[in-house]
């Protein structure tokens, strides 16, 4: 392959797909991108150029690491010969990085995240099959104008709303609110649904300029305001409140939310429930309607993991509360199919 050939770029970041057993115990991300690619052992749908970003388990990533991945995606897409991009990534936080990439992706060419549930040196690794399918999607005409996707075990998901929903099974991801985009066969045949409406990309704050703290605080039976207060004392500029049900808490948390908002902290209410929107319904001192009155912003259909990413990004580019509320309203709705 020469630099003038059309090709897919593989950005390797580590994860289980690059992991092998270590002498110290447990699997460790150790294979380079070239080693991950060579493990395919058979021809792929499109020529591939491999670049290493880093080699980390995704449970170790910071928001700045995720920004670096997104910046690298933008950099490689400056080459008009690139058909699309595949990012190999650990599954633990793939939903966060893929969503950040989608929020900041303005190119029509596809970006596809994939990885594996089994290590590279396991008896039957699933990484090579996932990678081959992701390359097929990234290089396909069908994948254009779909934004950033997650391809896992043959199913293609939009990045918004996707989540790891199984700890060890090979079909590890789901997207109950934003749906499925399509399928890719083990022979590389890509079947995607019609185009979907895309919101305007948000700016990518790179190089990093400031790191506002955003914490997730959970509501649960018997929870008080101790953990939220600790986050605020640590300097949190934003809080994701993982509510119960349709986005509820209790009087103590609600009072802390009101005080935080009054001090300029942005609080977003999400939910621990697997599917459905955050809706302010209940009162009685700590329900969703009380949280709304206290100044919390509803996350819509975004779960805590992706609400954290969106708020972290917005606090870096436009910390105006009204604008943040507007964007959460836009991004928290599943997109309408376009003609």
Residue of 13, 16, 104, 114 marked catalytic:
16
The domain of 239 spans: 213-331
Q: Provide the CATH number for the domain around residue 63.
A: 3.40.50.1170
Instruction: Return the residue matching tokens 């934004």.
Output: 147
Cα gap 65→262, rounded to integer Å: 32
- Asked if residue 4 has pLDDT above 70, the reply is no
Residue 8: strand, helix, or coil: strand
Q: Does a structural domain hold residue 197?
A: no
Q: Which of 163, 192, 221 is the last residue of a domain?
A: 192
| 3-state DSSP helix/strand/coil % of the chain, to nearest 5 | 30, 25, 45
Q: Are residues 217 and 306 in the same domain?
A: yes
- Better-scored residue on pLDDT, 302 or 210: 302
Q: Is 16 a catalytic residue?
A: yes
Q: Which value, to the nearest 10 degrees, does the dihedral of the CA atoms of residues 144, 145, 146, 148 take?
A: 90
Q: Are residues 295 and 172 in the same domain?
A: no
Segment 8-63, tens digit of pLDDT: 999 999 999 999 998 778 899 999 999 999 999 889 999 999 999 999 999 999 99
Q: Does a structural domain hold residue 179?
A: yes
Cα gap 81→114, rounded to integer Å: 22
| 50, 140, 279 from 249: Cα distances, Å | 47, 45, 13
Q: Provide the CATH number for the domain around residue 243.
A: 3.40.50.40
Q: Does a structural domain hold residue 206?
A: no
Segment 139-189, tens digit of pLDDT: 999 999 999 999 999 999 999 999 999 999 999 999 999 999 999 999 999
**What is the per-residue pLDDT for 335?**
78
CA triple 135-90-137, angle to 5 deg = 15
Between β-strands 182-184 and 173-174, what pairing exists: parallel, antiparallel or unpaired? unpaired
Segment 103-112, tens digit of pLDDT: 999 999 999 9
Q: Are residues 178 and 231 in the same domain?
A: no
Name, in order, each residue with C-beta under 8 angstroms of 71's C-beta and a sequence gap of 6 or more.
Answer: 204, 206
| φ, ψ dihedrals at 25, nearest 5° | 105, 140
Q: Tell me how far the alpha carbon of residue 110 is from its chain's centroid.
A: 15
Contact 238, 312 (CB under 8 A): yes
């Amino acid at each position: 392959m020469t630099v003038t050939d059309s090709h897919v770029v593989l950005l390797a970041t580590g994860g289980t797909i690059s992991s092998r057993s270590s002498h110290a115990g447990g699997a460790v991300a150790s294979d380079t991108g070239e080693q991950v690619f060579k493990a395919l052992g058979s021809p792929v749908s499109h020529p591939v150029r491999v670049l290493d970003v880093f080699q980390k388990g995704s449970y170790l990533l910071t928001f700045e690491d995720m920004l670096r991945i997104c910046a690298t995606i933008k950099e490689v897409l400056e080459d008009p010969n690139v058909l699309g991009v595949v990012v190999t990534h650990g599954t633990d936080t793939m939903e966060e990085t893929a969503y950040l990439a989608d929020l900041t992706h303005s190119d029509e060419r596809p970006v596809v995240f994939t990885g594996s549930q089994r290590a590279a040196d396991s008896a039957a690794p699933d990484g090579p099959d996932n990678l081959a399918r992701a390359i097929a999607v990234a290089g396909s005409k069908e994948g254009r104008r779909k934004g950033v996707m997650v391809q896992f075990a043959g199913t293609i998901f939009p990045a918004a709303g996707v989540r790891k929903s199984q700890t060890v099974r090979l079909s590890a991801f789901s997207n109950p609110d934003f749906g499925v985009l399509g399928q890719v066969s083990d022979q590389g045949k890509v079947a995607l649904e019609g185009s979907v409406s895309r919101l305007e990309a948000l700016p990518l704050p790179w190089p990093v300029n400031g790191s506002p703290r955003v914490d997730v605080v959970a509501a649960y039976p018997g929870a008080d305001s101790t953990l939220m207060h600790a986050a605020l004392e640590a300097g949190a500029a934003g809080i994701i409140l993982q509510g119960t049900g349709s986005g509820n808490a209790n009087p103590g948390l609600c009072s802390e939310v009101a005080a935080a908002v009054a001090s300029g902290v942005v609080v977003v209410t999400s939910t621990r429930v697997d599917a459905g929107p955050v809706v302010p319904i209940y009162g009685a001192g700590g329900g969703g309607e009380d949280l709304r009155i206290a100044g919390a912003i509803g996350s819509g259909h975004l779960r805590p993991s992706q609400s954290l990413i969106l708020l972290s990004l917005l606090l870096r580019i436009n910390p105006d509360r009204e604008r943040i509320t507007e964007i959460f309203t836009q991004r928290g709705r599943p997109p309408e199919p376009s003609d």
